[in-house]
A = this chain, B = another copy of it.
Amino acid sequence: MKFQEQTGGTGTSARTGTVTVRGRSFATPVFMPVGTAASVKALTFPHLAEMGAQICLANAYHLYLRPGMEIIRDLGGLHGFTKWPGAFLVDSGGYQVFSMQGVRKITDDGVHFRSYIDGSPHYFDAEKVIDVQMGLNPDIAMILDDCTPYPADRERAQKGVDLTLNWARRAVEYYHSLKLDKNTSPCLFGIVQGSTYPDLRRTCAERLLEMDFAGYAIGGLSVGEPKEALWEILETIVPLLPDDKPKYLMGVGTPEDLVLAVDKGIDMFDCVLPTRNGRNGTAFTSRGVIIAKAARYKNSDKPLDENCHCFVCRTYSRAYIRHLLNISHMTACTLVSYHNMWFYLKLMESLRRAIDEDTFTDYKRGFLAGYRSGDGPTPAEEEEE
């Protein structure tokens, strides 16, 4: 993997760059649509290609359980299985395994867990997750980490850092022992844990840096902590991470979060929001979030977002989309998910352009002033309807 920084803006840590891995390139800051089980819910990969997605995320834990790593490996890895021509990043499944309270047991060595599908027993450790990842054969693989839940006392957070560092060391050692061809094999990202304790986070980052990963992720955020904690961690950790490697903030976030985290120097993002909200009919627009099912839209001939050029906004009225949501047609999920994903991907394009033109700070100010978070239309819209 190669990361080429392009432009850094004035008065911001925002930067653009290009990641190249195994012949596939993507421009950063980048948003990665989440295709947990090798499919982005309610969308198709041709959809994602036409809206300019460059890299998608999948999940080792889910794919290990279903359809099984062997099936995907035998069909040519994730790229052969899904025919997605862009890049793939595969998360280790640490988050999934650790959130299965009651059906998993963590030891210093690894995690015993039961399948949520048939109750069968399974075991993940640092090496096993590398093996699964090599079978899936993405462009970027993540190490097994302890995704510390929030809130965590200091002891629990310290324990998470210890486990994560221990497993990271073993993962790197095992990865090197495989003597893979660097030009054709997945590269490995480390994950910084440490809950909301800046000093624990710093220690974790410093130890990971010694292991020389291809990129660094900040995990265990967006798990319920206050927003201030998120920004404090980014301000502490991002400057520590090397500028010649991509910096990835896992599982974040809303459009506002993306803008603010780019400002702090983050290069890569993933989040289920555009598709999860798409399925329940919540649309992201340039003026904020709207609940497309609201009765106020029953006669509206306006598109979801008047400033959007996606095929949904070029074609359909809110009244039509509301009707489909109201009768629970799955086509509605597809239409709103498509629009939301388009919105996220075009937002990232705009951020990259603003950084390259050194207008990021203005762009950020304008975006945040015009965007109303939370549920419901903007005040301007309420007047109109």
Chain A, residues 1-43, CB within 8 Å of chain B (1/0): the string is 0000000000000000000000000000000000001111111
Known contacts A67-B319, A323-B37, A323-B67; is A44 also within 8 Å of B330 by CB?
A: no
Q: How far is the CA of A42 from the CA of B315 in the complex (A)?
A: 17
Q: Name the CB-closest residue of B to A76.
A: B301
Is B74 a contact partner of A299 (Cβ separation < 8 A)? yes
Residue A82 at the B interface, CB < 8 A? yes
A71 interfacial by beta-carbon distance below 8 Å = yes
- Whether a CB of chain B sits under 8 angstroms from the CB of A286 is no
Q: Is B315 a contact of A46 with CB atoms below 8 Å?
A: yes
Q: A74-B299, A299-B74, A326-B67 are in contact. Are A83 and B331 (CB under 8 A)?
A: no
Asked if A191 CB lies within 8 Å of chain B CBs, one says: no
B44 touches A331 (CB 8 A): yes
CB distance from A138 to the nearest CB of B (A): 16
Q: Does A75 contact B (CB under 8 A)?
A: yes
How many Å lie between the Cα of A78 and that of B41 in the bound state? Answer: 29
Are B327's CB and A330's CB within 8 A?
Answer: no
We find that the number of chain A residues with CB closer than 8 angstroms to chain B is: 38
Q: How far is the CA of A361 from the CA of B163 in the complex (A)?
A: 72
The answer on a CB contact under 8 Å between B323 and A44 is no
CB distance from A44 to the nearest CB of B (A): 6
Asked if A298 is at the interface of the complex by the 8 Å CB criterion, the answer is yes
CB-CB nearest in chain B for A81: B320
Contact B329 A39 (CB under 8 A): yes
Is the CB–CB distance between B43 and A323 below 8 Å?
no
Contact assessment for A46 and B81 in the assembled complex, using a CB-CB cutoff below 8 Å: no
Query: Are the CB atoms of B315 and A43 closer together than 8 Å?
Result: no
Residue numbers in B under 8 Å from A195 (CB-CB)? none
How many Å lie between the Cα of A311 and that of B44 in the bound state? 11
In the complex, whether A259 has a CB less than 8 A from a CB of chain B is no
Asked whether A39 lies within 8 Å of B324 as measured between CB atoms, the reply is yes
**Neighbouring B residues of A317 by C-beta, 8 Å:** 75, 81
**4 further contact pairs, Cβ within 8 A, besides A38-B323, A71-B299:** A37-B327, A44-B334, A66-B327, A67-B323
Residue ranges of A at the interface with B (Cβ–Cβ < 8 Å): 37-46, 66-67, 71, 74-75, 81-83, 298-299, 301, 311, 315-317, 319-320, 322-324, 326-327, 329-331, 333-335
